[in-house]
Amino acid sequence: MNEVLTLLKPRIWHARKRGSSKANGRSGARVFLLGSFGLLFWCGIFAVSWRVLVYFKGIEDIGDILGFKLLSMMLVVSFALLLFSSILTSLSKLYLSRDLLLVHSLPVSSYKIFIARWIDSTIESAWMVIIYTLPVLISYGIVYQAGIFYYVNTMISMLCLAAIASAISTLLVMTAVIFIPASRMKSVFIFMGILSFVVIYLAIRLSQPELLVDPEVFDTVMVYITSLQTPSSPFLPSSWIYDSIRSALSSSISSSLFFTALALSFTGMIVFALVLLADAIYFKGFSKTQNAPARLLKKNVVGDRIFNFLPGPIKSFTVKEIKTFLRDQTQWTQIFLIAALVVIYVYNFKVLPLEKSPIRTVYLQNLFSFLNMGLALFVLTAITARFAYPAVSMEREAFWLVKTSPLSIRTFLWIKFFIYYFPLLILTEVLIVATNILLQVTPFMMTLSTLTVFFTVPGIVAMGVGLGAAYPDFKAENPTQTITSFGGLVFMIFCAGYIGLVVLIEAGPVYNLFMAGIRSKVISLSAWIWIFGSFILVLILSVLATSLPMRFGERRLSELQI
């Protein structure tokens, strides 16, 4: 056990050091800012779940059923999240981390290394899920006026859930690594996970769940209640946790203790089985991981000649960027995810019940079209955060190649900008045009939204590339996660502010122009000046949003010492 603790010490020291070094100066400010946002989010979850539960509690007959159904669903989702997160974390911690070569050279048996790594992996994969389910569980406790037993029991139950999910995932990973190399396994799991998510997401959305709240669809209330009361599988660990928490809420302590004991005994059993299996096969799997990864596609998908019209340095980076992007299988899955989101996004506009609204359809259509500009730009921000923001960090430790090449940092950043700008512009314009066609908006709104998006996309992409360059992390194991850093937060805030300002500046003039068109009124000269001035202001704002972050990124990246 001492050896396991020793193996965990570097992790503990690292956490402690991070805590102490971030207590002062700029890092302290970052922690404070991120912590404040985290806390705000936590309080938000608490407020929403408390409000929903109070509302449910007030509904006669089915209030408790709805509340418990919500609890059951939340636990199933948390369990699924824990499983997926544990798969990825245990793969990294047990097979792919860079320090594993050193750790395995130490005079410690492999099962002890495994135990230390598994504990580390469980904590890392579960802490966020646990922390953000707490506000929901606390609100249950408050609304159902539960005693101290509920809180203690819930804490133990949730820890069991995390340990069980981590153990199941690790069992799966450990067995699979024997057959597929770990380096490929990560891509396979991410691919499968996201594909399943996309399929389920599409299936749920296209089945129009909003009809469930339409009482006309149900023949009788009884059918509705029966459908809600359908129990979940007794073999699911989340069901035991649910039964335990539900019994604790209903003050049935003996029943609650039974289910907690069931969860605890299963946790003990599965962890024991896990360690036994690890003793037999963990090292074998780790050993296999050291083999060189085979290339999935030998054929060259991207022909270099397509880009021959570009100057040499620009061509070299463009080809490199596209090839590395396409060969990283984890990126493909993100494309599936985006495609699914786009389909759902457009579909939502198709099923909007505008004709049921008491407001005239023509107003609603054009109002939605105007608001849709903002929405589409927020979707663009999310995609930029995923692809353009980590673009500079994606150079990883090969960034020395850029620094020593006869290419200025400015050119390098603008190449990155254009690589992401064109596809993102096309995507956003497709979103806007498709939804506008579905909304049957006026030609004026169609022109306005396509033009606004055309001028705003460069600003958002430039903020992504520029701020990503200003706050790069070349040593990150997964550069796409850099968006969760301080720079990512700054990017999100700036984008939200920028989009908000554009929508705000255009709202007045657009309303004036639109109403004048509908009522066939003549617009006064002063109104024209105001309208013209507003659009010029948006244009200036867009130029500034494009140039300033790029300059900031260039300055910071040039000063960066590697």
Between 210 and 477, name the residue whose CB sits nearer to other proteins: 477
Nearest to 376 by CA among 437, 336, 301, 434: 434
The pair of three-digit structure tokens given for residue 527, joined into one six-digit string: 């109104």
Residue that the structure tokens 């003039």 belong to = 509
Query: Could you give the CA distance from residue 428 to residue 424 in angstroms, rounded to a whole number?
Result: 6
Between 35 and 312, name the residue whose CB sits nearer to other proteins: 312
Between 7 and 394, name the residue whose CB sits nearer to other proteins: 394
Least separation in angstroms between residue 479's CB and other proteins is: 13
The pair of three-digit structure tokens given for residue 35, joined into one six-digit string: 């912590």
DSSP letters, 12-42, are HHHHHHHHHHTTSHHHHHHHHHHHHHHHHHH
Least separation in angstroms between residue 469's CB and other proteins is: 16
Between 104 and 323, name the residue whose CB sits nearer to other proteins: 323
Between 167 and 470, name the residue whose CB sits nearer to other proteins: 470
Reduced to 3 states (helix: H, G, I; strand: E, B; else coil), residue 427 is helix
Between 27 and 265, name the residue whose CB sits nearer to other proteins: 27
As to burial, measured by CB atoms within 10 angstroms (0-12 exposed, 13-18 middle, 19+ buried), residue 474 is middle
Least separation in angstroms between residue 397's CB and other proteins is: 4
What sign for the dihedral angle of Cα 520, 521, 524, 526?
negative
Least separation in angstroms between residue 482's CB and other proteins is: 18
The pair of three-digit structure tokens given for residue 82, joined into one six-digit string: 């824990």
Least separation in angstroms between residue 405's CB and other proteins is: 5
Least separation in angstroms between residue 470's CB and other proteins is: 17
**Can you state the percent helix, strand and coil of the chain, rounding each to 5?**
85, 0, 15
Least separation in angstroms between residue 285's CB and other proteins is: 19
Query: Could you give the CA distance from residue 539 to residue 452 in angstroms, rounded to a whole number?
Result: 9
Between 230 and 404, name the residue whose CB sits nearer to other proteins: 404
Between 184 and 205, name the residue whose CB sits nearer to other proteins: 184
Is residue 274 within 8 Å of residue 167, measured between CB atoms? Answer: yes
Least separation in angstroms between residue 314's CB and other proteins is: 9
The conformational region for residue 300 under phi > 0 = left, psi -120 to 50 = alpha, else beta, is: beta
Between 77 and 101, name the residue whose CB sits nearer to other proteins: 101
Residues that bind other proteins (CB under 8 A): 292-295, 298, 304, 312-313, 315-317, 319-320, 323-324, 327-328, 396-398, 400-401, 403-408, 559, 561-562
Between 307 and 552, name the residue whose CB sits nearer to other proteins: 307
Least separation in angstroms between residue 407's CB and other proteins is: 6
Angle, to 10 degrees, between the axis of helix 237-249 and the axis of helix 110-143?
40
Reduced to 3 states (helix: H, G, I; strand: E, B; else coil), residue 301 is coil
The pair of three-digit structure tokens given for residue 322, joined into one six-digit string: 């596209």
Least separation in angstroms between residue 401's CB and other proteins is: 8
Between 326 and 496, name the residue whose CB sits nearer to other proteins: 326
Least separation in angstroms between residue 382's CB and other proteins is: 25
In three-state form (DSSP H/G/I as H, E/B as E, the rest C), the secondary structure along 92-151 is HHHHHCCCHHHHHCCCCCHHHHHHHHHHHHHHHHHHHHHHHHHHHHHHHHHHCCCCHHHH
Residue that the structure tokens 């590697």 belong to = 562
Kindly report the number of other CB atoms within 10 A of residue 320's CB atom: 15
What sign for the dihedral angle of Cα 490, 496, 502, 508?
negative
